[in-house]
Amino acid sequence: MPPTELRPLSLGELLDRAFQLYRGHFGLFVGISAVPQLGFVVILTLATILIGLVAGPGGAGAAGLLVLLVPVVVLGYVLATAFAQAATVFAVSEVYLGRPTGIRQSFSQVSGDVGAVVFAWIIIGLAMMAGLILLIVPGVIVLLVTALTVPALVIENLHARDAISRSMALTKGNWDRVFVIFVLVFVLTWVASFLFEIPFAALAQLLPAESGLHISLNILEQLGSLVAGVLVAPFGMIAFSVLYYDVRVRREAFDLQLLMQALGGPGSAGAPHTLPLGPE
């Protein structure tokens, strides 16, 4: 999408544009979502096999190994998710601004941002926990005001704390749109689970646990969960990235900034995913 097409969007237009980007570049976004998730599945499978090999009769020896492997598996999942989200934001930015990109380029460009994304998640998670301990509402507010942290971090090349502060500034006055995106992602996740995961789980419950078909259905359930996650995960980051640009267009005349860069103005030599900050 050429920069000249950037303009303020209504909520309906914003969601429609997010769906258009997803449909128009389905292979790119699903590929980005799938690669780290498949890596995580490999780690989980190897951990499961290792536990099976080490465990003695009755499961002796498995408990200690499980304690060691659980943190590795959790860390693998967190890094995979952070990598996928950062790469998705980069890909959205390139596509949205009319620049070509691919799966490998998207991952390579954000490899240095993964640690900052995880650190930002830790800060946000602690803040949400504190908010939920006090009341549910403060925790929800934290979720809403930090929704644009990853787009701000990747696109503006910010540190974790700065990206959180930037998200808080950008989401001010846009909580309703952020909330609608979260609700839509939740609905899409439920629908995808209903289509790809729940049918196998329901059928498995009707069969004896020791039967081969029960085990096969459990495997299909896990695969369905993976497919559902891979399909839905990109949409949320696409929508939040579009919202990020929309807020900057509204508040910072970002479309004019890009036009000046295209004409050779200040900042035209910046890195592909490092764009100038506007006024707070």
Identify the pLDDT of residue 269.
37
Tell me: the pLDDT tens digits for 240-276? 999 999 999 888 877 666 656 656 655 443 344 544 4
**265 to each of 38, 58, 159, how far by Cα in Å?**
43, 71, 26
pTM of the complete model beyond 0.75: yes
Rounded-to-integer distance, Cα 66 and Cα 245, Å = 44
Tokens at 111, concatenated: 């490899």
Tokens at 71, concatenated: 């943190």
If one counts every other C-beta atom within 10 angstroms of the C-beta of residue 73, the result is 16
In this predicted structure, which of 44-48, 78-82, 213-217 has the lowest mean pLDDT?
A: 44-48
Contacts of residue 86, defined as CB under 8 A and 6 or more positions apart, other chains included, come to 110, 113, 114, 117, 150, 153, 154
Share of the chain above pLDDT 90, in %: 45
Share of the chain above pLDDT 70, in %: 77
Q: What secondary structure does DSSP assign to 20-71, as a single string?
A: HHHHHTHHHHHHHHHHHHHHHHHHHHHHHHHHHHH--GGGTTHHHHHHHHHH
Tell me: the pLDDT tens digits for 102-129? 999 999 999 899 999 999 999 999 988 8
